[in-house]
Chain A
């Protein structure tokens, strides 16, 4: 599991969004790592700042413990009045999201660009 920040994306309206690309498995053994790596990005995702887009195109699998990290992330950002979304789910992860109804917690988009366009309003 690792997180790499990629260049910021510009929305059609000229505003930019911050994008981080996650890759690997997020399960019992890597969830803590995922949590720690995510933390600095979450801390800056607040009202007035650029929205955060988590690109999940490299994530093979996410377990319930990984979903919990995402849930906590969502709560933190919500409390900071920030904006956050997930984009580009792989089929396995998309199935997990669907089973757990995670789209009720997180905004999910097909691509980072779509997410940037939707969030940078």
Chain B
């Protein structure tokens, strides 16, 4: 399972995965803004879309709130005055609800200052129980006269209706999704004029309405809906148009403006599945497709100056400028009475404040919009940048992403301030880090895998090197470990002197030398060179040495015969097809008689006591090819007679072929000269001089072949 996940994130799949993630996130984003709220009965599919889109939807709303929190609307001048039924008013006048004749009085006082319109954010679905007639109903029978007198007086509702008739007034109502005792199926609305396709399917639809008494409705110049839908308990959007029982109805703000301007009707400019604008008189407001506007909220504090207590108005103490020519809203603000809502600025304000802000916004022409092309542009930018980002990975850095987010945030804020456009920066903030994260995880895994592969390869190389080194050291141990020490034969010996030297090349192990006494007077010696390197050559060398020594010790035969026997034995077991050049000699150290065989090797040198040097070349009937070159060969023996003081010098071609750093060969002439002019007495002396001279020639260059020297000096006692 983990392996499969890792594979998904590895190099080849890192980019496709990031692109797929980008596509999915953009898809979710598009879905999240699909307006499902307007659907009457959301189905399972709609609900599912709502759920999967919710992270984007919620962050988008917070993002939009952020613009407002940073830059709340600064109201320039207010066309609105709120006459608030506040705590002070309740204290002065009495408990709520007030008798409606008191409301009538309030409206009359306001009306005396000729306001542009008066709107009531108060629902009055039932008759006033404090009307004189109702009081009469409660009187005991003996008070019949009083009751009759009371019944002759106009009801409070009639008084209020009369007051409403005297001013341009608008009554508020509330939309209900369910029926209750107070709700009704309709109210007296002034028809809206629709220019374009019927928008009924896109607006918020309420089947029921909580409206005031029909006689009050009849008295008011306009009716409007006050309902506001909340998103996550926060007021962000306000409907300018809704429908009640399939009848289009205006919101309070537009209706107030219609009544104030004495216009005949509010007009809707629509296109299929969209309300584009709502107009009244010469005011045209762009709306969201469902008839909502995004409100740019001002701080509640900013509206303190346009608010006056109802008690103050009733007492005639209100500033006339607050009422004359103003759109006056009457509503409750007292705690416990008011319908309080939280705005996008996170302020808990009375509903009437929100209505006032809607009117102010319409007046200032400050309505936030989010036309379809904004969404399209956002998605396009996200696709392009996201794809670019994935493309340039791994050069893409967090800085590049943060830069894009910074720029889009800046552009968003500029569009908000200067053009009242809502740009959703949250889409990028949610999407890009996820895509970035996926790329980072992919590349991290990729790098880790590559490192692991590298480490494995390095380990393998190291292992191989160890194996080779092990082989080489084994080869060297075999080669050097089997070499005899001169003391073995020299122990108290005066008849001859002997010295030997071998320097193996780094990766070669093919030279050999050996010497031993066959009996009291016969010294046997061998110098050889195996044609090969490494362990096989070393093993072949060891076998050759053991074999020749065994044969020499146990077969009383001349060197030619020994070579012949050794050749036959070696050929039988030679899987590597190696061969070995050998000089094998037997010296009678009493008489100086020398018998030797040369199997393809450099001829031994002889230095006379007089200083002359010559090669002991094989005569035509002696010697032969290297051992193992021919399956069988009759090697002949060469016989020589040494004179006292004669020195035999046996070498391998590692000496004559020793190369200087410039590639020059040491050569046999130079060797001849050194041997001829050697002044140091004894076998070891000659070896020391030769080594020193070769070292001068080689000058530190790595030897390419093993170098072997064996020197024997015959020094018989003078008889």
Q: Which residues of A contact B (CB under 8 A)?
A: 27-29, 61, 63-65, 67-68, 71-72, 75, 99-102, 104-105
Known: A64-B529, A65-B532. A100 touches B581 (CB 8 A): yes
B533/A63 in contact, CB under 8 A: no
Give the residues in chain A near B653, CB-CB below 8 Å: 63-64
Q: Does B218 contact A (CB under 8 A)?
A: no
Chain A residue nearest to B601 (CB atoms) is A99
Least CB distance, B671 to chain A, in whole angstroms = 14
A27/B625 in contact, CB under 8 A: no
A44 and B704 CA atoms in complex are apart in Å by 33
Q: Which of A27, A29, A65, A99 contacts B600 (CB 8 A)?
A: A99
Q: Does B508 contact A (CB under 8 A)?
A: yes
B630/A68 in contact, CB under 8 A: no
A65/B602 in contact, CB under 8 A: no
Q: Which of B505, B510, B633, B657 contacts A61 (CB 8 A)?
A: B657
Top 5 A-B residue pairs of the complex, sorted by shortest distance between their CB atoms? A100-B600, A101-B625, A64-B531, A68-B531, A104-B625
B626/A28 in contact, CB under 8 A: no
B624/A99 in contact, CB under 8 A: no
Q: Does B705 contact A (CB under 8 A)?
A: yes
Known: A64-B531, A68-B531, A68-B579. A101 touches B704 (CB 8 A): no
Give the residues in chain A near B530, CB-CB below 8 Å: 64
A100/B626 in contact, CB under 8 A: yes
B704/A28 in contact, CB under 8 A: yes
A101/B623 in contact, CB under 8 A: yes
A105/B577 in contact, CB under 8 A: no
Known: A28-B508, A28-B705, A29-B704. A101 touches B600 (CB 8 A): yes
A75 and B505 CA atoms in complex are apart in Å by 29
Give the residues in chain A near B704, CB-CB below 8 Å: 27-29
Give the residues in chain B near A29, CB-CB below 8 Å: 704
B629/A104 in contact, CB under 8 A: yes
Least CB distance, A6 to chain B, in whole angstroms = 26
Give the residues in chain A near B532, CB-CB below 8 Å: 65, 68
- With A28-B704, A67-B626 known, 19 other A-B pairs at CB within 8 A are A27-B705, A28-B508, A28-B533, A63-B653, A63-B657, A64-B530, A64-B626, A99-B581, A99-B600, A99-B603, A100-B625, A100-B626, A101-B623, A101-B625, A102-B600, A102-B625, A104-B624, A104-B625, A105-B625
Least CB distance, B702 to chain A, in whole angstroms = 11
Q: Which of B578, B623, B630, B705 contacts A105 (CB 8 A)?
A: B630
A104 and B629 CA atoms in complex are apart in Å by 9
Q: Which residues of B contact A (CB under 8 A)?
A: 505, 508, 510, 529-533, 577-579, 581, 598, 600-603, 623-626, 629-630, 633, 653, 657, 665, 704-705
Least CB distance, B650 to chain A, in whole angstroms = 13
A28 and B702 CA atoms in complex are apart in Å by 13
Chain A residue nearest to B654 (CB atoms) is A63
A72 and B653 CA atoms in complex are apart in Å by 21
CB-defined A-B contacts under 8 Å, sample of 10: A29-B704, A63-B653, A63-B657, A67-B531, A67-B626, A68-B577, A71-B579, A100-B600, A100-B601, A101-B624
Chain A residue nearest to B600 (CB atoms) is A100
Give the residues in chain A near B633, CB-CB below 8 Å: 104
Give the residues in chain B near A105, CB-CB below 8 Å: 625, 629-630
A99 and B653 CA atoms in complex are apart in Å by 11
Give the residues in chain A near B630, CB-CB below 8 Å: 104-105
A29 and B633 CA atoms in complex are apart in Å by 30
Chain A residue nearest to B603 (CB atoms) is A99
A101 and B633 CA atoms in complex are apart in Å by 11
Least CB distance, B420 to chain A, in whole angstroms = 82
A102 and B655 CA atoms in complex are apart in Å by 21
Chain A residue nearest to B706 (CB atoms) is A28
Least CB distance, B528 to chain A, in whole angstroms = 10
A120 and B480 CA atoms in complex are apart in Å by 49
B577/A65 in contact, CB under 8 A: no
Give the residues in chain B near A64, CB-CB below 8 Å: 510, 529-531, 579, 581, 626, 653
Least CB distance, A97 to chain B, in whole angstroms = 10
Give the residues in chain B near A99, CB-CB below 8 Å: 581, 598, 600-603
A108 and B505 CA atoms in complex are apart in Å by 31
Task: Give the residue among A75, A99, A102 with the most B Cβ atoms within 10 A.
Answer: A99
Least CB distance, B279 to chain A, in whole angstroms = 94
Least CB distance, B165 to chain A, in whole angstroms = 117
B577/A28 in contact, CB under 8 A: no
Give the residues in chain B near A72, CB-CB below 8 Å: 577
A101 and B529 CA atoms in complex are apart in Å by 15
Least CB distance, A26 to chain B, in whole angstroms = 12
B600/A75 in contact, CB under 8 A: no
A107 and B77 CA atoms in complex are apart in Å by 120
Least CB distance, B402 to chain A, in whole angstroms = 59
Least CB distance, B637 to chain A, in whole angstroms = 15
A102 and B508 CA atoms in complex are apart in Å by 23
Chain B residue nearest to A65 (CB atoms) is B531
Chain A residue nearest to B537 (CB atoms) is A65
Chain A residue nearest to B624 (CB atoms) is A101
Give the residues in chain A near B510, CB-CB below 8 Å: 64
Give the residues in chain A near B505, CB-CB below 8 Å: 28
A65 and B532 CA atoms in complex are apart in Å by 6
Give the residues in chain B near A28, CB-CB below 8 Å: 505, 508, 533, 704-705
Give the residues in chain A near B598, CB-CB below 8 Å: 99
A36 and B459 CA atoms in complex are apart in Å by 30
